[in-house]
Amino acid sequence: MSSTELEHLIKMINQIADNIAIGESDDVATAKLADHLKRFWARSMKEQIFNYANSDGEKLQPVAKKALTLLQSE
């Protein structure tokens, strides 16, 4: 996997978190972020970010991590 592609995905998910999580409770922010990924991210993009979250995930914001966990559990 190219680092650029993954870097972009990490940047994207954190940016989404920045924009929809502020001022929301943790649960609401997590749900909103998970829903956004579900509605707009392609299968391959979700797979890559899941793999990253499961293997390393260091650069992910806490709410992004939670959202990915939530999404994977669905």
Partner 1 sequence: MIQFFDPRQSGNPHQLLDVEKDYGTPPTCAEDAASTSLVSLTIDGQPVMVPAGTSIMRAAAALDINIPKLCATDSLQAFGSCRICLVEIEGRKGFPASCTALAEEGLVVRTQTEKVARLRRNVMELTISDHPLDCLTCPANGDCELQNAAGEVGLRDVRYGFDGENHLNAKKDCSHAYFTFDPGRCIVCSRCVRACAEVQGTYALTIDGRGFDSRVAAGQDEDFMDSECVACGACVQACPTATLMENSVIDLGLPEHSVLTTCAYCGVGCAFKAELKGDRIVRMVPFKGGQANRGHSCVKGRFAFGYTTHRDRVIRPMIRDTIDEPWRQVSWDEAVSFAASRIRAIQQQYGRESVGGITSSRCTNEETYLVQKLVRAAFGNNNVDTCARVCHSPTGYGLKTTLGESAGTQTFDSVEKADVIMVIGANPTDAHPVFASRLKRRLTQGASLIVADPRRIDLVNSPHVSSDYHLNLLPGTNVALINALSHVIVTEGLEAKEFIASRCEQEAFEHWRSFISKEHNSPDIMAPVTGISAEKIRDAARLFAQAKNGAIYYGLGVTEHSQGSSMVMGIANLAMLTGNIGREGVGVNPLRGQNNVQGSCDMGSFPHELPGYRHVSDESVRGLFEQAWGVKIDHEPGMRIPNMFDAAITGSFKGLYCQGEDIAQSDPNTHHVEEALRSLECLIVQDIFLNETAKYAHVFLPGASFLEKDGTFTNAERRISPVRKIMPPLSGKADWEGTMALSNALGYAMDYSHPAEIMDEIAELTPTFSGVSYQLLQETGSLQWPCNEASPHGTPIMHVDEFVRGKGFFAITEYVATDEKVNKKYPLLLTTGRILSQYNAGTQTRRTENISWHAEDVLEIHPFDAEERGVKDGDRVQVSSRAGATVLRADITDRVQAGVIYTTFHHPETGVNVITTENSDWATNCPEYKVTAVQVSKVTGVSDWQSKRELFSEQQIAFMGTADS
Residues of this chain that interact with partner 1 (CB under 8 A) are: 1-2, 4-5, 8, 12, 15-16, 18-19, 22-24, 36, 38-45
- 45 alpha-carbon distance from chain centroid: 10
* CB of residue 43 to partner 1, shortest distance in Å: 4
Distance CA 74, CA 20 (A): 21
Distance CA 36, CA 23 (A): 17
* CB of residue 60 to partner 1, shortest distance in Å: 15
Comparison of 8 and 59: residue with beta carbon closer to partner 1: 8
